[in-house]
Chain A
Amino acid sequence: MSARELFTFRNPYFSAGVGLAAGLFVLTALGGFIVLPYAQKELKFAGLWDAICSAAGVPQRSASVPTAKVGPRLSEAVLTPTMLARPGQESIGRGATLAQRCAICHGPTGISRADSPNLAGQYASVIYKELLDFRSGARSNAVMSPFAVDLKDQDMADLAAYYAYLPRLPAYHPTPQLPRPRIVIYGAPVRGIAPCGSCHGSLDNKTGSPWLEGQSEAYLKAQLQAFASGRRTNDISQQMRNIARAMTPQEIDEAAAYYASQPTEIVKSTD
């Protein structure tokens, strides 16, 4: 068999195949790139070339819409799943030094004796983000905010690395382990609540979401109520307010009590 015999327009199969394919492509391209864009009256194009480029899908940067910032100051943290991964020993060491200031509330081993959050073994991105938000004012707390004001970005990364490095010790407020309430296991789909663990560590970790096992019940409840009422707004694009708002007061109580009573073993760590 010779290619010359096949690939010639004298071969009816070749000419029909190529002709039909090319004809169809040209026809549909004319339709898709010129006829259809102009057939849609609500679309405005600068000209033929603009219409063709739009239909071809030339990417354009989304036009900047001037937006007045209103309401409370919001989080300016930019989180990515791999940020702060694999910190050096040096960073952890610097973090340990800086953390001496934190020990009064958060405990010398990162386990709080009061109702402050336990930080030992917390995801680094969580500690980093909350510090950023305390510094910027997106989150405020009479005790915590003054500590954060003077921290540099590197200090925050070091603190995050140090606390993430600490082993997860048992918390100081153990109650008998409670059974998992419905809201924690299943969430409430139609209300837009996913299982808590899908972000908070027992199933998966969404970057910036802390694990909660063994945290103070009073603290957890206060935060959920603050998110629900809109007093706390540093969750990026309302990711936690959307959830907390949809929870009933009873579900908030149950979730807080459940997490406070849990050991830390079931938490997944991140890279």
Chain B
Amino acid sequence: MTVENGHQGAEVAARTERRWATISVIIIVVLAVLAAFAGIHQVTMPQPRVETIDPTRLHLSGEFVESNLGSVLEPTGSVTVRAIGQQYSFTPACILVPAQTPITLRATSADVVHGILVQGTNVNTMLVPGYVSEQLMRFEKPGDHLMPCQEFCSFGHEGMWGKVKVIDKEEFVAKAKSGGRLSCVGE
């Protein structure tokens, strides 16, 4: 973009502009394709379906009743975690998952808009009352993560922090043998 003023006419200016516009478009297309490619092959994609649910009756029936919240080992070897957010806690307050395992998080809100954010990972989803959120996740290493609510949910929002505990795959499988839903609440 070193155009000497005064020596070149409007045509030169227009040509330079067209070149720059072409470069701009190429930059944008490359970025967009990069994002789509990375999403499919490496990282994560938005949840595939929109599912609705009645937030006032979560505790009465369906997959979010209290006894069904927590982590369960599926026959396929993957893990499903079911959780709810409510003013001002997550249930289970401590989510227990195995390392190096595909995990499906299914969660919803019992009252207002909340969010789940697992620190140190890219697990991050909104919980909107009336809808079920689903996100695929995978933890490589055992360890502890904080899981704050990331959307303002009224005056106790600053106190809404859960935890995620990632343990060895074998240890998790052993715990899962006894059946039921796993969590690290009270540990």
Q: Do chains A and B touch in the complex (CB under 8 A)?
A: yes
- Assess whether B62 is in contact with A195, with CB atoms less than 8 Å apart: no
Q: A195-B156, A243-B89 are in contact. List 12 more A-B contacts (CB 8 A).
A: A55-B48, A61-B51, A62-B63, A62-B132, A64-B62, A186-B159, A192-B161, A192-B162, A194-B159, A199-B88, A237-B64, A239-B89
Which residues of A pack against B, CB within 8 Å? 31, 36-37, 39-40, 42-43, 54-55, 57-65, 67-71, 74-76, 78-80, 186-195, 197-199, 203-204, 206, 236-239, 242-243, 245-246
Nearest opposing residue in chain A for B106, CB measure: A62
Interchain residue pairs with CB less than 8 A apart (8)? A57-B49, A59-B51, A62-B63, A192-B161, A194-B157, A194-B158, A195-B159, A204-B156
Assuming the A-B contacts A70-B180, A203-B155, A204-B155, are A65 and B62 also in contact, with contact meaning beta carbons closer than 8 angstroms in the complex? Answer: yes
How close is B72's CB to chain A, nearest CB, in angstroms? 10
Contact status B49-A42, CB under 8 Å: no
Q: In the complex, what distance in Å separates the CA atom of A131 from the CA atom of B110?
A: 22
B127 to chain A, nearest CB (A): 13
Chain A residues near B90 (CB, 8 Å)? 192, 242
What is the total of A-B residue contacts with beta carbons within 8 Å? Answer: 147
Chain B interface residues (CB < 8 Å from chain A): 36, 40, 45, 48-53, 56-69, 84, 86-93, 102, 110-111, 131-132, 136, 146, 154-163, 180, 185-186
User: In the complex the two chains form, is A36's CB within 8 Å of B62's CB?
Assistant: no
Q: Which of A58, A206, A246 touches B93 (beta carbons < 8 Å)? A: A246
Which residues of A lie under 8 Å from residue B162 when comparing CB positions? Answer: 192
Q: Chain A residues near B53 (CB, 8 Å)?
A: 61-62
A43-B48, A74-B66 given; A238·B91 CB < 8 A? yes
Shortest CB-to-CB span from B126 to chain A, Å, is: 14
Measured CB to CB, the nearest residue on chain A to B39 is A36
- B159: which of A63, A198, A204 is its contact (CB, 8 Å)? A198
A159 to B63, CA, bound (A): 34
Contact B136 A42, beta carbon cutoff 8 Å: yes
Q: How far is the CA of A79 from the CA of B110 in the complex (A)?
A: 11
- CB contact under 8 A between A31 and B36, given known A189-B158, A199-B87, A203-B155: yes
**Candidates A58, A194, A204; contact of B160 at CB < 8 Å:** A194
Q: Which of B69, B93, B156, B185 contacts A194 (CB 8 A)?
A: B156
Check A245 against B185 for contact (C-beta < 8 Å): yes
CA of A206 to CA of B154 in the docked complex: distance in angstroms?
10
- Residues of chain B with a CB closer than 8 A to A76's CB: 59-60
CB-nearest residue of chain B to A206 = B87
In the complex, what residues of A have CB within 8 A of residue B132's CB? 62
Query: From A60, which residue of chain B is reached at the shortest CB distance?
Result: B51
* Nearest-CB residue, chain A, relative to B80: A65
Residues of B within 8 A of A65 (CB): 62-63, 68
| Interface core residue of A61, A67, A78, A245 (most chain B CB under 10 Å) | A67
User: Provided the pairs A62-B51, A62-B52, A194-B156 are in contact, do residues A237 and B63 lie with their beta carbons within 8 angstroms?
Assistant: no
Point out the residues of chain A lying under 8 angstroms from B136, CB to CB.
42
Residues of A close to B50: CB separation below 8 A = 54, 57-60
Bound CA span A70–B93, Å:
19
Cross-chain contact B63 with A69 (CB below 8 angstroms):
no
Q: Which of A59, A63, A198 contacts B156 (CB 8 A)?
A: A198
Q: What residues of chain B lie closer than 8 Å to A57, measured between beta carbons?
A: 49-50
Give the docked Cα–Cα distance between A19 and B93 (Å).
52
Q: A204, B154: Cβ atoms under 8 Å?
A: yes
Contacts of B61 in A (CB 8 A): 64, 67
Which 3 residue pairs across A and B have the least CB separation, nearest first?
A194-B159, A194-B156, A198-B156
Task: Kindly state the separation between the CA atoms of A13 and B154 in the bound complex, as whole angstroms.
Answer: 49
B89 near A36: Cβ-Cβ < 8 Å:
no
The answer to whether A187 and B159 touch (CB under 8 A), given A204-B154, A239-B86, is yes
Minimum Cβ distance to chain A for residue B114 (Å)? 12
